[in-house]
Structures are given as structure tokens and as C-alpha cells.
Homo-oligomer: A and B are copies of this chain.
């Protein structure tokens, strides 16, 4: 046979599972989008169409919903660990399972009572508003021996309205850009980070806390870095996370430079100066795109190059 089968995987993608947990009148919500990808001894289904080794994708969907009830959803990562382990350990032909998750955050709605007094969100027990600031992500892979756990986020749009410069760059015959000494730096952060937890023999990270702290660290670094290039800001964001979170060995970012161009208002007799509080045109395309991995020294990279562009 002149052609052979290479890497392959299959499963049900984008299972939208919502779990409400009731603690008396107080409800808690977990809202996930779960994608299952399985691989293993699957040559025959490709070559002949025999499904003898194929657990249907419909079954993987059912398993997601049954596990949400049976195990609950403590965190996206923990839920992924349960699922990945199940598929590999319960089905002989399946040698590797990858569970990808998007999580949508909901806040409690803060309300006011009929007398006009403000009621804190804590008193609102079963009403929620979708947060919308970022989408949290997770990916758990299990091969029967060890786990690989990535956590991440996307759609987190941030801006520094000053403390950003860009100058001293290479000029070739196609360079027309003017140097900038006070520009807006805005980006929509996509990041994935790898935990060094790989098996039950290690102490498992507190996934919810780890996520919250990691997000805070990368925001802190974004805010505090006086930026000479978006690459420098990216590196500071990654280094801050690696240096502050011992459970994380590797982080990768994809940071589009969401250009805000100072509008030329001279033709209308107006001076439009950054230092004076200026007017910008927020451009769509094209955009600069800065991508990099930051590693704990001595660690091997495992996050694929395009992982942050999915």
C-alpha cells in the first residue's frame, strides 16, 4: 500500500454542558464547552470502515453529561482529568485521550431592593450575568501513564493608554513607519500555560486558585511594564507567571497588536497629540502579531506553536 495512516484522533467536539449546584437557596454554576479527542488502535476504521474499535462520538458526548452529574465539575482541569482517565482506562483500543474545555464565567447580579437600598451580589442567590471579560480554557491529555495539563485564557482585551514607545528599529527600503514615544498599547491576550503536575503521585494544584493568580500576575506585569516593544511586555508577562507560580513551567502567548492610530487632524486645524489626550482610529486589519513561549530554565517546551491561535 503506497499510503499510510499518520496521526489521527476523533471524538465529539463542543459539548455545551451547564451544571447547577444547589447549596440550599444559593446556586453555583459551571458553564463549559467540552471537546473530546481519542486516539489509539484505530487503523482498521480508516482502512476498511470497520468500527469494531470505535466508541461512538455520541457515546463520548453522553459520558461528558453523565460525568458532570456523577462527579460534578470542580474545575475545568479536574473535569478533564476524570474524563481523559475514563476513556483510556475503560476502552482497550484507546491509548490517548485529550479533553479541551472552554469555560464561561458568570457573576451574581447585584441588585437593589424595592426601597432603593442596594443589595450586594452575595444576597442574590440564583441570578447570574455572564461576565464576558475573558474565556477560560483548559486541555488535559492522558496516555495511560501521565497527564499533561494546560490551562489558559483568550479574549482578554487590555490597554495601556501610555507608557509605551517604539523606536530604534531596523529601517530598510520598505520602512515608512514613524518612531513613537507615547503610544497606546492594546492587545487581546491568548495564553496557554503548562502545569508540571503529571500524575497522582504529585500533589495536585488547586486549579481554581492557580488560574485566578496566574491571570492576576499576567495583568500585573502588563500594567507595570514600561514598554519599548510588545515583545518586551509579553516576556515580562510570561516571566512574572513562571517566577510567581511554582506549579507552572511553561507559558505561551499570542498577542495581536491592536493598533490605535493617532488620527491626523491637522487638515481641520486641530492638534491631536498623545500627551494632550488624543483621538485614535482603532484598526481591525492588518495587525501586528507577537507570539512567544517563556520557559522555566531547564524545562522542555511542550506547548505547540499554534496552540494560541486555535
Contacts and interface: CB of A to CB of B under 8 A. Distances in A.
A71 B117 CA distance: 37
A172 B61 contact: no
A210 interface: no
B66 A268 contact: yes
Nearest to A93: B170
A161 to B, nearest CB: 4
A65 B290 contact: no
Given A65-B263, A304-B305, A172 B17 contact: no
Given A6-B294, A131-B132, A228-B51, A289 B175 contact: no
Contacts of A51: 166-170, 228-229
Consensus secondary structure, chain A interface: mixed
Contacts of A63: 174
B310 A5 contact: no
Nearest to A12: B286
Instruction: Indicate how many identical chains form the complex.
Output: 4
Nearest to A133: B132
B256 A13 contact: yes
Contacts of A145: none
Nearest to A249: B3
A45 interface: yes
B279 A18 contact: yes
B3 A295 contact: yes
Given A52-B170, A294-B5, A111 B224 contact: yes
Given A37-B289, A69-B272, A177 B59 contact: yes
Interface in A198-225: 216, 219-220, 222-224
A112 B55 CA distance: 35
A68 to B, nearest CB: 4
Interface of A: 1-22, 27, 29, 31, 35, 37, 42, 45-59, 61-63, 65-66, 68-70, 90-91, 93, 106, 109, 111-112, 124, 126-134, 155-163, 166-177, 184, 216, 219-220, 222-224, 227-229, 231-232, 234-235, 238-239, 242-243, 250, 252, 256-257, 260, 263, 265, 267-268, 270, 272, 275-297, 301, 304-307, 309-310
12 contacts: A3-B242, A3-B296, A13-B286, A16-B281, A29-B159, A51-B167, A51-B229, A59-B171, A61-B286, A112-B216, A127-B160, A129-B159
